[in-house]
Each structure stands twice: as structure tokens, then as C-alpha cells.
Amino acid sequence: MKHLSKIAENLLGQPMFGLLSRAQDMEREGKKVIHFELGDPNFDSPDHVLEAAKKALDQKLTHYTNSMGLRELREAVANYAERDLGFKPDLNQVLICPANALIDFTARCAADPGEEIILPGPGFPTYYSVIKYNGFVPVPVRLKEENSFRMNPDDIVEKITDKTRLIIMNTPQNPTGSVMTEEEVFKTAEIAEHSDVYLLSDEVYSKIIYGGKNHFSPSLRDKCKERTIVLGSLSKIYSMSGWRLGFAIGPESFIRKMGLLLETIMSCLPAFTQLGGKAALEGDHSFLGKRIQELNERRNLLIGGLNRIKGLSCVMPEGAFYAFCNIKGTGMDSARYCEELLENSGIAAVSGNCFGSFGEGYARFCYASTEKKEIEEALSKMEDFHKKI
Amino acid sequence: MKHLSKIAENLLGQPMFGLLSRAQDMEREGKKVIHFELGDPNFDSPDHVLEAAKKALDQKLTHYTNSMGLRELREAVANYAERDLGFKPDLNQVLICPANALIDFTARCAADPGEEIILPGPGFPTYYSVIKYNGFVPVPVRLKEENSFRMNPDDIVEKITDKTRLIIMNTPQNPTGSVMTEEEVFKTAEIAEHSDVYLLSDEVYSKIIYGGKNHFSPSLRDKCKERTIVLGSLSKIYSMSGWRLGFAIGPESFIRKMGLLLETIMSCLPAFTQLGGKAALEGDHSFLGKRIQELNERRNLLIGGLNRIKGLSCVMPEGAFYAFCNIKGTGMDSARYCEELLENSGIAAVSGNCFGSFGEGYARFCYASTEKKEIEEALSKMEDFHKKI
């Protein structure tokens, strides 16, 4: 193979997509697979969202748009912030962009190669792959099982050096489902302020919290004017994963730079997907309650069942739709456990080490797209599997 | 403002979008603007494309997809290559991605900062902005007006050093509308082979050629197995600019790396836009003939008119939908000329220096979205403007 750049050599991609592809191969061979791997809700995008996109197509809104995003959608995001985060940002503080790309753009605008980014360990794989391929230095803060996997602000302080450029926090959290307390969230905001570093608050699961708990955002402290960048997404909350729509709210100067990066790489996003997004943010939200109730039932069923299986133990997650299950009792490492579980029982879960080295000893089970009947079937197959090992 | 990365400091964006934004401000103030700035055809996306996307929305195809692109669309691209380029690539040689992003991804997979990329000067601004923000070294090959702006392979040879990693060629060309001859195209492919560097062949205007001339692709030489990366797009040919759909055909190992970069940054593209793209590639192409006839009439009208205006001269472009007009006779530099033309006459054209320093002394007029009546009106306003200067 010809010469490739360092970036090309350091690309990891997203491990869940690789696993999905393997699982789909098994299905093509006629094997049944129960999917716990991809964080993609099996609910439909709301009808009013589909209709808005179809209407835009009928109106032939198929030309280039403003690279910062449609004004109407940015206004909808600003109104969302006023309603849910407690402050109304200026439109110049809002950028429309796939959420995954915003992680890449935020990191690349905040840090140069060799500089440090603090992030949760275990944490969303894109944090790790973005840091690795760009040559940044990952500084994971260990999320402790005994603290229900909530990120402890005191552990962040210890990691800050003069090379720190960005802290990434994530609540509700992927892969553990932990939800930070109000005190933890605002203490993290204070730490970012005192250390004078950017703070990326990944809030893509903000409305998926169980037991009536609240979501807290560190953005209230600086109203995204100084250092906080809120990362939002329509993928999980509105079951719009395939629309590739997210948004950032941040300091105007920083958002402008991220907008230029979007303009350079993607030019802009489709108008008809963005108008679907506007319909989601502004439309009826009553469907959400029912969906979260369904997710809650799946959660209780799955975590209860996992904890009854010999060799497994699982903290009850408070948000998102992931169970991060301790598999150390099996004596296997995470990768081998997940591989054998898939090959032997047709159950696809993600190895904990895909979420950074602090994920070793765990496996992530996503219950966003598995019906309760399938969860029961999976638990029964897992019991059989665990008897054999 | 807080510390920003070097990348953030070096971002340029795409100048056409900035100009569009300024022109739209003028329109909000009630001034009439005739738009020659953005390369966005004012034709509608074909009906069968719109219908395919709407059908996919009705089928709720709104979830994550394979990050390399839908298999059906990659097959459609492979069939396009067999039909139009003369060879059928393997599906693993095909990646679905916005074309603009493919320029960024190709450059970032082929070169490290400090390494050299050969490109046409003047050339598409994204080449220049990608090279600049990533810290690559741009090595422009001057397109000479006396050669009708066709890139001369002999001029490429002179620019190759041991730091060259990539040659970018583009036919039909933006911003000059030049179309390389068969001999020039294959000589360029030979040069890339002998120098052992990657060759990015930007063919996004491949079907927009006037006078019955043919499009030639250097890909026939290595069938995209060794070094050639064909860049295709649905934006211009199918009037689908806002769909953000393009494709690359290249060496399997290189395409895999670009796919990982897409997966890391964007995860994947929407299924319903991709199914629109499939309908475009596989559907009826009879609409194209009429559109190219209309573009041809606009071209003859515009270039004829420009050449009658004192101080201007314009080579007849053979493809794409741009006129690259020599404005040196006005005594103004390109930026000032375009600014005054917009402010005085409400005519938005892009300053030649937005396409690299070899574009100085020229202005680009895009006739993709201006009706003949508007072109006549613009020419008459320009005559008045030129009498005053």
C-alpha cells in the first residue's frame, strides 16, 4: 500500500458500526441476532417530523443553505435553550451540525496536536477516536462503579495541567447511563472556569432520564458565552438517528470557527432535514412520555435479569438507554466475552474497552431497540451461555 | 478570545457563501441582486428523485445506515462507473459522502502537514481552504488563459518534488469551465503513476459539457485500484446541491480509510437522501439534454455579452457553468471590481483571487441559476457600470 498520512494510520472509526456489520453478516447466514449494540431507538421519527420533511421536498427546498444552519432551526434551538436550559442564546451562538461532527470540530478548534483533552473513562468512543486520529492527548477521568459511574469533579481537578484545552462531560452518560447531580454539574463548570479551559457538555440524552430526576447543564453558569459548548442532538430523543441533525450552543467566536470548519468540509446541511428538525423541536412532545415509560420497563427488565446471572452485576442506570454490566466474574476479558456471546448465543453487545481502557471488565447492552420480549429471550440465552462458561 | 487551535486560526470557509450572505443582506434592504456567485443550478431536483426520498420517509427509513453508504447506492455508483468511465469497481472501492468532504478526506488521508499537494490555479476554493487549514503546502499549476485555462501536464511535471503526495485535477473545471483533452487527461494519469502519488480527479461536472465534446477520466488507466480517486457529485448534474451527496471511487485500502474518517466525523448519511441519489443515478436522464441546452444558451449569451463590454474579455468555456472573465482592462483588482459591481449594479460575481492567487485579474460569473432575461439585464447594467469606471 502507498504512503498514507499519520491521520489515516490512526483512524479507529466507531466500533459499534463494525460490530453491527458483523452481526448483519451472521443474519445473512440465517442466524438470529438480538441487537444490543447500536444506540438507535427502534421508535419511528414522529409523524409531524416526517411530514415537515416531505413538505419541504414538495416545495423543492433542495438547494444550498446557510452553512451555519437554517435561521428557523437555529431559532428553534435558541427557544429550546430558553425553555430547557434557562437562558436564550444569540443566534450567532448556535450552529446546526451532526452531533458527532461537533465533537470533532470542538476538539479541533480548541486543541493542537500534543495538547490534552479531559474526558470520561469509559466514554463515548467518538471522543477517543477523534482524540487519537488528531494526535491530541486523551486524559480520561475514571468513572467509578462504586459512584454509580458518575463523573466526580474532584477527579477532574487532579487531571488539569497547563496543556489542558478542553474538558468533555456527558450526562446522561454513554455507556454507563449515569446522571450527574446538580452539584457535580456546576462544580465541573466552576473547574472549567477556574482553569480557563473550554467545556464541552454532551447532552444528547438530556430528556431520557428515569424516576422523575432532572437534567442539569453547566451552561447556565456562563450562558455559553465564555467557555461552555452545549452539544445537542435530535438522534436519540426524537428517534431521528438517521437524519444526522445536532446542534452546538457556544461562545460566538468559537461557534463561528466551527461554522467555518463545517462550511469547509460539508458546505451546509439539507434544508429538508433541517425543517424536519425544526418540527421536532417545536412540535408536540407528548409522545416522549410514553417512549420513556417503555424504555424504563426495558431497563428494569434487563438490569434485573443481568443481576440474576452468575458472574454478572449491573448498576442501575438513571438515564440514556445503556446498561454497563460488570463481567469480571466470568474470568474473561471484555472483548472475548462479547465475541463468545455473539458467536454462541447470537447476542450483540459492545465490549467495554471500546469506551476506553477504563471500560475493560464491562460490556454495554443498549436497550433502545430491543423489545421486552427480545430482552427476555436474550436473558434466557445468556443464562444458558453462562452455565457453560 | 480564549486560546484557539492553529486549525481554527487558519480556517477560510468558502468565499461564495460569504458573498451569498452579503447579497442576501442587500436584498433584505430591498435592493435587487442578480446572482452569479453560487454554483447552484436553478433547476429542480428531478421528480423521481423527490418521490424516492418521500417514499423512504414513508417507509420510516430514518435510522443509522452503513457508514460506507447504502449498498444499493454504492451499486448504482459502480454501475455508473461501468457505463460512463469504462470499468466496474468493486463495491469496496466506493464510498458515499458529500463531495466537499471527500476533498478534505482525500487530502487528509494522503498527506501530512508540511507535505505538498499540486492543484489547479485558479481552482475550486475548497482545495485551497482544505490545504491551508490542515497545514499542507499548496503547489498550484497555473492554468493559462492562452491555453483556454486547460491544465497542461508538462506544467504539472515541473512541480513534482519528493514531498508531493497528491495531484488534484478537475475537468470540466471550476472556475474556468475548461475541459481537458483526452491526451491531457491520460498524460496526467501517467505523471501520477510515474511519480507514485495519488491523483484526485474531480469530475463533479462530468456531464455538463457543450458542443458534443466528451468527458475523459484518468481513472481508466488504473481502474481506481492504484492511485486514482474519482470524485463524483449529484449536486451539479442532477440539481441536487442541497442533498449533500457525492461519491468517491478509489483504491480499496484508501477508500476504507476515508470511510473510517466519515464514520468518525459523520457516522453515516441519511438513508432517504441516499435513496434519492440512487433514483437519480438509475433513473431517466432525458431531462439532462434540455438543461444543458438551456445552459448552453445562457453561456453563449453571457460570454458574447461580456466580450462586448469595454475592459472585459472572456474565453468561451467548454463545460461546467462558469465564465472566468478577464477584468484586467478595468485597472481594478479583482476584489475591488466585484465589490463595486455588487454595490453599484447589484451584480454578485466572485473575485478571481478566491480561487487562488492565479485567479487575480479575473471574476467568475456562474450562469447556473440566472435566467437568460436576467443575464441580459445584468449585461446592460454592467455596460452602464463600465462606462462610469
Q: Which among A97, A102, A107, A110 has a CA at the least distance from the CA of A134?
A: A107
Contact B264 A126 (CB under 8 A): yes
Contact A133 B63 (CB under 8 A): no
| 3-class SS of residue A142 | strand
**Average pLDDT by consecutive 10-residue portion of chain B (389 residues)?**
85 76 87 91 95 98 93 97 97 97 98 97 96 97 98 98 98 98 98 97 97 95 97 96 97 96 94 98 95 97 97 98 98 94 95 96 97 97 94
Residues A13, B108: C-beta atoms closer than 8 Å? no
Q: Cα Rg for chain B, rounded, in angstroms?
A: 21
Domains in chain A, start-ordered, CATH in brackets?
6-44+287-388 (3.90.1150.10), 47-282 (3.40.640.10)
Element (H, E) at B233: strand B228-233
CA angle B96, B97, B103 (to 5 degrees): 125
* pLDDT for the residue B15: 72
Rounded Cα–Cα distance for residues B260 and B266 (Å): 10
Per-residue pLDDT averaged across A257-279, rounded?
96
Confidence band (pLDDT; 50, 70, 90) for A16?
confident
pLDDT surpassing 60 at residue A1: no
- What residue in A sits closest to B257 (Cα-Cα)? A8
The mean of the pLDDT values for chain A is 95
Distance (Å, whole) CA B62 – CA A253: 33
Phi-psi region of A43 (alpha: psi -120 to 50; beta: other; left: phi over 0): beta
d(CA A155, CA A141): 6
- Report yes or no: A295 and A321 within 8 Å, Cβ to Cβ: yes
pLDDT in tens, A331-380: 999 999 999 999 999 999 999 999 999 999 999 999 999 999 999 999 99
pLDDT at B269: 96
Cα–Cα distance between A209 and B235 in angstroms, integer? 41
C-alpha dist (Å) from residue B168 to A301, B7, B198, B202: 56, 22, 9, 7
User: Quick one: pLDDT band at residue A190, thresholds 50, 70, 90?
Assistant: very high
- Do A196 and B2 make contact, defined as CB atoms within 8 angstroms? yes
Give contacts of A 77-106 with B, CB under 8 A: 98, 100-101, 104
pLDDT for the residue B1 = 53
Query: In sequence order, what are the residues at sequence separation of 6 or more whose Cβ sits closer than 8 angstroms to the Cβ of residue B385?
Result: B340, B341, B344, B345, B347
Which of A24, A28, A62 to mutate to probe the B interface, most B CBs <10 Å?
A62
How far apart CA B34 and CA B36 sit, in angstroms, is 7
Using CA atoms, how far apart are residues A214 and A210, in angstroms rounded to an integer?
9
Rounded CA separation A147/A358 (Å): 14
Interface A-B, measured as beta-carbon pairs within 8 A, has a size of 214
Q: What type of residue is B22?
A: R
Of B4, B50, B61, the CB nearest to A257: B4
Given CB atoms, is A244 within the 8 Å cutoff of chain B?
Answer: yes
Give the three-state DSSP class for A121: strand
Inter-residue contact A101 to B266 (CB < 8 Å): yes
User: What ipTM goes with this model?
Assistant: 0.94
* pLDDT band, residue A137 (cuts 50/70/90): very high
> Residue written as cell 447532552?
A203
Residue B30 pLDDT: 93
What confidence category does residue A22 fall into, taking pLDDT thresholds of 50, 70 and 90? confident
Residue A165, pLDDT > 90, answer: yes
Dump pLDDT digits (tens) for A229-245: 999 999 999 999 999 99
Write out the DSSP string of A256-288. HHHHHHHHHHH----HHHHHHHHHHHHS--HHH
β-pairing, A362-366 with A322-326? antiparallel
DSSP secondary-structure letter at B84? I
Judged by CB atoms closer than 8 Å, whether chains meet at A266 and B101 is answered as yes
Residue B295 CA to residue B209 CA, distance in Å, equals 10
Give the integer Cα–Cα distance in Å for B310 and B203: 34
pLDDT at residue B3 in the model = 79
Q: Which residues pair with A319 in a beta bridge?
A: A209
Q: From the CB of residue B238, how many other CB atoms can be counted at a distance below 10 Å?
A: 27
Residue pointed to by grid coordinates 450526562: A171
- Determine the pLDDT at residue A246: 98
Of B44, B67, B265, the CB nearest to A17: B67
Distance between B48 CA and the closest CA of chain A, angstroms: 12
Among B268, B228, B309, B330, which Cα is nearest to B73's? B268
DSSP classification of residue B82: I
Q: Is B233 on the interface with A (CB under 8 A)?
A: no
Can you give the pLDDT at residue A347? 96
Instruction: State whether A253 and B129 contact (CB < 8 Å).
Output: no
Region A373-389 average pLDDT:
96
Partner A contacted by B63 (CB < 8 A): yes
